[in-house]
Amino acid sequence: MTARVLVLNCGSSSIKYRLLDMGDGEVLASGLVERIGEESSLLVHRGTSRIERPGSCATHAEGMRAVLDAFAEAGPSLEGITAVGHRVVHGGSRYSTPVLIDDGVEQAIEELSPLAPLHNPANLTGIRVAREAFPGPPHVAVFDTAFHQTMPPASYLYAVPREWTDEGVRRYGFHGTSHAYVSRAAAGLAGRSLAETNTIVLHLGNGASASAVRGGVCVDTSMGLTPLEGLVMGTRSGDLDPALIPYLVRTRKMSVDEIDDALNTRSGLLGLCGANDMREVWRRVDAGDADAAEAVEVATQRVKKYVGAYYALLGRLDCIAFTAGVGENDHRTRALSLAGLHPLGIELDPAANAVRSAEPRTISTPGSAVRVMVVPTNEELEIAGQTLAVALGQRT
């Protein structure tokens, strides 16, 4: 039997999971428990058969129990799985590679929680519950920040007092497993060796980030100390003048928590036009909503500015790869983000761009110096692959 890896992604009120056959990457089971801790939770399991079941999981431990029950009831068996991979959002400067989890790693993830107060505690709870539920296989933490740890100081330093930097205030970047997977897949699709390919990855989902990858190595990315920096997102502002924060404190008498919440959950597309789902934003644009049209302009112009900046940084650009919910599905966002860039050798083929497909594909003209593509991301497969490598390394 080939290796099977269970990938777990525990959020503040959810557990998402996927069981993968590492021989061919086949998804053997997937599912989620959502609304953990709320009045009624919901489990959806797609295994040998499908279960959709409302419940009342008050804690992640109960949620994990429900997942195990679902595997027992609707298959496949988890007997003999090779390893469990955990998505962990923040690995700080400490983790540039995935790591076998022991009590010390758990403690480190806890110590890094101030940098990701919403995510790391939930990830850690998931790890603790899963290690108890599956004491047999090795558990591996795969960090969202790790791929970006290769950034040089010129990219990761903020121009702030050094003592802040010494305390960990710097740019880290997120969506690392996606940027790693997509930059590798882009080189493959272009038929080039990874070491000789320079790529800009545009991960445009509800959360969005760009990265500049030189020969498989990340040299810059748009998210920073937290996932708030960079592109305009569904509900996050992305880049803004930091002086806005004292301004809001002084004039609107807002508290730090109120500002934090507003910039993370009430800004971005939602703040600009009242909708954060790009499909709804386009519906409003098509119905003549001026705010929605402006929201699209702000968001796509921001993407274009990052493309220009990263092109300059890389010096030579071979590929631009769009990925995640918006990047993979929204041809209008892709077209606007790269509109007018043909003097830079970036030329979309409108017909190829309009094709709907779940496959990796090229969407630039044959004459475009830079190959533009859509590469569906697969963070779970990337996490599973990294997990397996650590687990096998551990055993030999």
Q: Which residues are identified as catalytic?
A: 144
Stretch that binds ligand ADP, among 115-123, 215-223, 322-330, 366-374 (CB under 6 A): 322-330
Q: Which residues are annotated as a binding site for Mg(2+)?
A: 9, 379
Residues 51 and 68: their CA atoms lie apart, in Å, by: 12
Say if CB 206 and CB 327 are below 8 A apart: no
Site string for ligand ADP, 71-100 (x = CB under 6 A): ------------------------------
Q: Which residues are annotated as a binding site for ATP?
A: 16, 203-207, 277-279, 325-329
Helices marked H in the chain: 60-74, 103-111, 120-133, 153-156, 162-166, 176-189, 244-251, 256-265, 268-273, 278-286, 290-314, 324-329, 331-338, 350-354, 379-395
Contacts of ligand ADP in 155-184 (CB under 6 A): none
Stretch that binds ligand ADP, among 86-94, 116-124, 147-155, 200-208 (CB under 6 A): 200-208
DSSP-based three-state secondary structure for 104: helix
DSSP-based three-state secondary structure for 239: coil
CA nearest 314: which of 217, 194, 202?
A: 217
Q: Which two tokens stand for residue 233?
A: 């997102």
Binding to ligand ADP by residue 283, rule CB under 6 A?
Answer: no
Say if CB 37 and CB 27 are below 8 A apart: no
Site string for ligand ADP, 215-244 (x = CB under 6 A): -------------------x----------
> Which of 69, 260, 277, 289: binder of ligand ADP (CB under 6 A)?
277
Residues 346 and 350: their CA atoms lie apart, in Å, by: 13
> Which of 66, 116, 228, 278: binder of ligand ADP (CB under 6 A)?
278
Closest approach, Cβ 274 to ligand ADP, in A, equals 14
Nearer to ligand ADP among residue 329 and residue 337 (C-beta)? 329
Binding to ligand ADP by residue 330, rule CB under 6 A?
Answer: yes
Note the residues at the interface with ligand ADP (CB under 6 A). 205-207, 234, 277-279, 324-326, 329-330
